[in-house]
Amino acid sequence: MEKALLPRLSDKVAVVTGAGQGIGRAIALRLAREGANVAIADLNPTTAGQTAIDIRQLGRRATAVTVNVAQVSQIPPMIAQVVNELGHVDILVNNAGVVQIKPLLDVTEEGWNRVVDVNMKGLFFCLQAAAKQMIAQGTGGRIINMSSVSGRGGRADSSHYAASKMAVISITRSAALALAKYGILVNALCPGVVPTTMWDQIDQERAQLFGYAPGTARERLVETVPLKRVADPEEIAATVAFLASPDGSYITGQAINVDGGLEMD
Ligand SMILES: NC(=O)c1ccc[n+]([C@@H]2O[C@H](COP(=O)([O-])OP(=O)(O)OC[C@H]3O[C@@H](n4cnc5c(N)ncnc54)[C@H](O)[C@@H]3O)[C@@H](O)[C@H]2O)c1
């Protein structure tokens, strides 16, 4: 008879930013099913609260923390609140992100700042605050940063988004080097096409920009995916759970494509 596997993340505390919906929500629920107690750190208190309720129904502890990661001053208090309510921080999933479809020649300073402040600055300072907490605990940790296949190359219609996601890979490598001596492993994920609210926005903005029929921008991209389908958010969450678990103990400084074969570098 097959032996049941033990939950891989029992007694761990994970902070997942942007976990009110989409990929972040799937990650938070997956980590909870793997045994972790989870803090949902999101701009939207309503969706974050719902994810927390759903996690408690799985028998884990959960707390919803309202935070705008683009406001650096809000980040250390967010980590302090998690420690206060859940005891410690072992895993950070830096998932919160925003996108804008805009041709390179039309990107404004405001649009640039919005995208870069959340995806790059917010991610960096969440990583820094969580790492300080993990170092103080002396128990190591795991940090998983959400990049994108857009961070693997250029994007004519979302150059600021692509730049922010390439920066995530650079931050991941620097942090992996800086934090290895504390037993903190840092990796990035590069998802391909995941059907979430963000993709609804991309589809609408591309439809407007290129004159596509609504709903077809995503189909055009999926045609170029070797597996010929979008990802289930759970498929991204499964890779996060692996990297956060003892199974990922010899992996750091990597950016892993979870994209059905869209990018191969
Ligand atoms: N959907 C995709 O196809 C795809 C592909 C590659 C990478 N990604 C990345 O995955 C991550 C999640 O994307 P998604 O598709 O689930 O997006 P989504 O828009 O569905 O969800 C994003 C979540 O982040 C939260 N958020 C946004 N700004 C925030 C801020 N300033 N502070 C705190 N929370 C904030 C939102 O409230 C929301 O709950 C993003 O970093 C995105 O760039 C998504």
Dist. CA 71 → ligand 1 center (Å): 16
Edge to edge, the sheet with strand 184-191 lists 62-66, 37-42, 13-17, 91-94, 141-146, 184-191, 255-258
Binding site membership of 17 for ligand 1 (Cβ less than 6 Å) = yes
Residue 105 CB coordination number (10 Å): 7
Active site residue 161: yes
CA distances (Å), origin 254, targets 172, 175, 181, 192, 234: 8, 11, 17, 16, 20
Paired sense of beta strands 91-94 and 62-66, if any: unpaired
Per residue in 15-33, pLDDT (tens digit) is 999 999 999 999 999 999 9
Q: Whose CA is nearest to atom 41 of ligand 1?
A: 97
Q: Which residues pair with 112 in a beta bridge?
A: none
Per residue in 212-221, pLDDT (tens digit) is 898 898 999 9
3-class DSSP state of 223: coil
First vs last C-alpha separation in the chain: 40
Q: Which two tokens stand for residue 142?
A: 């795991």
In one letter, which amino acid is 213?
A
- Give the atom of ligand 1 at the shortest distance from the alpha carbon of 230: 3
> What is the sign of the dihedral through the CA atoms of 67, 70, 75 and 77?
negative
Binding site membership of 51 for ligand 1 (Cβ less than 6 Å) = no
Residue 48 contacts residue 72 (beta carbons within 8 Å): no
Average pLDDT of the chain? Answer: 96
Binding site membership of 148 for ligand 1 (Cβ less than 6 Å) = yes
Binding site membership of 137 for ligand 1 (Cβ less than 6 Å) = no
- Give the atom of ligand 1 at the shortest distance from the alpha carbon of 122: 31
φ/ψ of residue 257, rounded to 5: -75, 130
- DSSP assignment, residue 99? -
pLDDT at 2 over 80: no
* Inter-helix orientation angle 109-116/159-179, to 10°: 30
Residue 91, by phi and psi: left (phi above 0), alpha (psi -120 to 50) or beta? beta
Per residue in 113-169, pLDDT (tens digit) is 999 999 999 999 999 999 999 999 999 999 999 999 999 999 999 999 999 999 999
Task: Among 17, 23, 206, name the best residue to mutate to test ligand 1's pocket (greatest count of ligand atoms within 8 A of Cβ).
Answer: 23
All structural domains of the chain: 13-192+232-258 (3.40.50.720), 194-230 (no CATH)
pLDDT at 3 over 70: no
Binding site membership of 242 for ligand 1 (Cβ less than 6 Å) = no
**Cβ neighbours of residue 69 closer than 8 Å, sequence gap 6 or more:** 17, 41, 43, 75, 96, 118, 122, 123, 125, 126
Task: Among 16, 40, 42, name the best residue to mutate to test ligand 1's pocket (greatest count of ligand atoms within 8 A of Cβ).
Answer: 42
Binding site membership of 199 for ligand 1 (Cβ less than 6 Å) = yes
Dist. CA 167 → ligand 1 center (Å): 16
CA angle 29, 191, 224 (to 5 degrees): 135
Per residue in 46-73, pLDDT (tens digit) is 999 999 999 999 999 999 999 999 999 9
Per residue in 68-87, pLDDT (tens digit) is 999 999 999 999 999 999 99
pLDDT at 102 over 90: yes
Binding site membership of 69 for ligand 1 (Cβ less than 6 Å) = yes
Q: Which two tokens stand for residue 252?
A: 């750091």
Binding site membership of 10 for ligand 1 (Cβ less than 6 Å) = no
Task: Among 75, 78, 98, name the best residue to mutate to test ligand 1's pocket (greatest count of ligand atoms within 8 A of Cβ).
Answer: 98
